Amino acid sequence: MAVLEEAVLEEVVLVAAGKRIDRKTGEELLLCPRCRIDMKKLKRKDVVIDICRKCGGMWVDAGELEKLANLGDPKKS
């Protein structure tokens, strides 16, 4: 019986759950809700923006839109 490395086992579990992993970064790849293709991640300070390469849609997690708005405001940064 072969023994799988922990990282490989974690990837197998995620794939079985329908999630995809970026092999370079180890991060979960999100699918565009419209196009159903992997989105690229754009990081600015502590905000991650998921951008669809096909439709150009941009998605942020809860609270991140406010963080983005505050990036340009020196009083709130």
Cα-Cα-Cα-Cα dihedral sign, residues 50, 53, 10, 4: negative
14 dihedral zone (left: phi>0; alpha: psi -120 to 50; beta): alpha
Does residue 4 carry a pLDDT above 60? Answer: yes
Per-residue pLDDT averaged across 5-27, rounded? 73
pTM above 0.85, yes or no: no
Spell out the domain ranges in the chain.
1-29, 31-77
pLDDT of 53 reads 93
For 20-72, write each residue's pLDDT tens digit. 777 787 778 888 889 988 898 888 888 889 999 999 999 988 888 888 888 77
